[in-house]
Amino acid sequence: MAKPTNDNPPDDPTQLSLSEIVANLPAVRAAKKANTMSHVHRRLIEPLESDQDNEARLSFQHTVFCQAGLPYRNPGDDLRLWERTQGHVLLRIEAGTVINPTTRRFVDVGLPWGTKPRLILAHLNAEALRQGSPVIEVERSLSAFVKRIRGFQHGREIRAFKDQLSRLSAAIVRLGTVRNGHAQQITSPVVVAFELWPELDARQRVLWPSTIQLSAEYFASLQEHAVPLNEADLAALAHSAMALDIYAWLAQRLHRVNPARPAFIQWPALKEQFGPDYGYMGHFKGKFRIAIAQVLSRYKAARIGLDGLGVTLHNSPPPVSKRLVSLPRS
């Protein structure tokens, strides 16, 4: 197969190598033509943070959310239940209700979806572990986090994050694992207490809750099963829910691969985990290859092979070295 030129993007991206995919990303082609770079591409190629900065800017994800993710797109407020199974991990999320502070009535809110609840959860996890408490002061930290992650902080962006925070806070989450015939399950909201403010105050500012309290069950499980992530990497991948999921999956998976026995995952299993809503396998393969190429532009130590049959995972160091991680224990 002839290598595509920048002026002629490939008809079948599933047949390209990862380096070729990176070279043919729309952002890269446009940057070469105009001698400029998009916001997304600039973030993908920015240097990794220094070790000192990494230590101050760690995020964490629960290992279950590293293997089974939230919806990528808005499933509609009528859909009240989301369930995913991946290997021995089970995730079930039920949409909840919140009090409207203006009408003083309970109203249904939809399921959390997209990049924002993934980013919010990684931040809440990090703050809880850093403070050693399920009660998190978020009013200032969350605004600063959104600005760091997204690079801007206008009202529409903050409102969108606040909407997803409300959805995440109201949802009932069931985390489960099944190994050797034994099942373990946590059934609880991730968040058990939070404040709801009117959307805007008298000065037209979007208001965050001042504090959020994680459930005792979730916090205890998080302390045992937190996967450290580089916040700078999350910022670079914040445009793609699939890329965030792949990054978190590789972060918790690669360092556990037997060095003498690489792990092979076939395309149907990858589609079940990362693209169950894609009807056509070829469409999913193209999206997955682009997303994983973007992930590898940040997680440079990851050693994987990708071909027409699936993905081969080789033992690799995690994106955050163990010496940078010190989790408080209760």
Q: Is residue 105 one of the residues assigned to a domain?
A: yes
Q: What is the CATH number of the domain that holds 272?
A: 1.10.10
Number of H helices, E strands in the chain: 13, 14
Phi, then psi, of 76 in degrees rounded to 5: 95, 145
Same domain, 98 and 210: yes
Residue 241: pLDDT over 80:
yes
Q: Is residue 12 one of the residues assigned to a domain?
A: no
pLDDT band at 10 (very low <50, low <70, confident <90, very high): very low
Same domain, 303 and 164: no
Q: Is residue 41 one of the residues assigned to a domain?
A: no
Q: What gap in Å lies between CA 302 and CA 178, rounded to an integer? A: 28
Q: Is residue 324 one of the residues assigned to a domain?
A: no
Q: Is residue 49 one of the residues assigned to a domain?
A: no
Least confident of 112-126, 164-178, 258-272: 164-178
Same domain, 285 and 177: no
Same domain, 252 and 184: no
Burial 24-40 (b: 16+ CB within 10 A, else e): bbebbbebeeeeebbeb
| pLDDT tens, position by position, 253-282 | 999 999 999 999 999 999 999 998 888 999
Measured between alpha carbons, how far is residue 215 from residues 82, 165, 176, 209 in Å?
Answer: 20, 15, 16, 16
Same domain, 209 and 166: yes
CA angle 256, 260, 263 (to 5 degrees): 55
pLDDT band at 176 (very low <50, low <70, confident <90, very high): confident
Average pLDDT over residues 11-22: 50
Same domain, 64 and 149: yes
Q: Which residues span the domain enclosing 189? A: 57-229
| pLDDT tens, position by position, 35-91 | 445 556 556 656 544 434 444 489 999 998 999 989 999 998 889 999 988 888 888
pLDDT band at 3 (very low <50, low <70, confident <90, very high): very low
Same domain, 222 and 284: no
Question: Would you say 292 and 298 are in contact if contact means Cβ atoms under 8 Å apart?
Answer: no
Same domain, 69 and 123: yes
**Consecutive H or E run containing 246:** helix 241-253
- Which of 229, 251, 279 represents a domain boundary (last residue)? 229
Same domain, 103 and 192: yes
Give pLDDT, residue 5. 40
Phi, then psi, of 86 in degrees rounded to 5: -140, 105
pLDDT band at 316 (very low <50, low <70, confident <90, very high): very high
Q: What DSSP character marks residue 205?
A: P
Average pLDDT value for the chain: 80
Q: Is residue 134 one of the residues assigned to a domain?
A: yes
Residue 305: pLDDT over 70:
yes
Nearest Cα residue to 208 out of 169, 171, 262, 245? 169
Q: For the chain, how many structural domains are there in total? A: 2
Q: What gap in Å lies between CA 119 and CA 111, rounded to an integer? A: 15
Give pLDDT, residue 99. 83
Question: Would you say 59 and 247 are in contact if contact means Cβ atoms under 8 Å apart?
Answer: no
Give pLDDT, residue 42. 59
Residue 199 corresponds to which tokens in the numbers above?
A: 């959307």
Give pLDDT, residue 267. 96
pTM over 0.85: no
| pLDDT tens, position by position, 195-208 | 665 555 545 455 56
Q: Calculate the CA 36 to chain-centre distance.
A: 28
- Which of 229, 250, 275 represents a domain boundary (last residue)? 229
Q: Is residue 182 one of the residues assigned to a domain?
A: yes
Q: What gap in Å lies between CA 286 and CA 265, rounded to an integer? A: 17
Q: Give the number of other Cβ atoms within 10 Å of residue 226's Cβ.
A: 22
Q: What is the DSSP string of 93-153?
A: EE--EEEETTTTEEEE-----SHHHHHHHHHHHHHHHHHTSSEEE-HHHHHHHHHHHHS--
What is the pairing mode between strands 172-179 and 89-94?
antiparallel
Same domain, 262 and 225: no
Q: Is residue 5 one of the residues assigned to a domain?
A: no
Same domain, 204 and 263: no
- Which of 229, 260, 276 represents a domain boundary (last residue)? 229
pLDDT band at 2 (very low <50, low <70, confident <90, very high): very low
Average pLDDT over residues 167-177: 87
Q: What would the 3-class secondary structure string for 258-302 be?
A: CCCCCEEEEHHHHHHHHCCCCCCHHHHHHHHHHHHHHHHCCCCCC
Give pLDDT, residue 45. 58
| pLDDT tens, position by position, 204-223 | 455 567 788 999 989 999 99
User: What is the separation, in whole angstroms, between the first and last Cα of the chain?
Assistant: 57
Same domain, 176 and 287: no
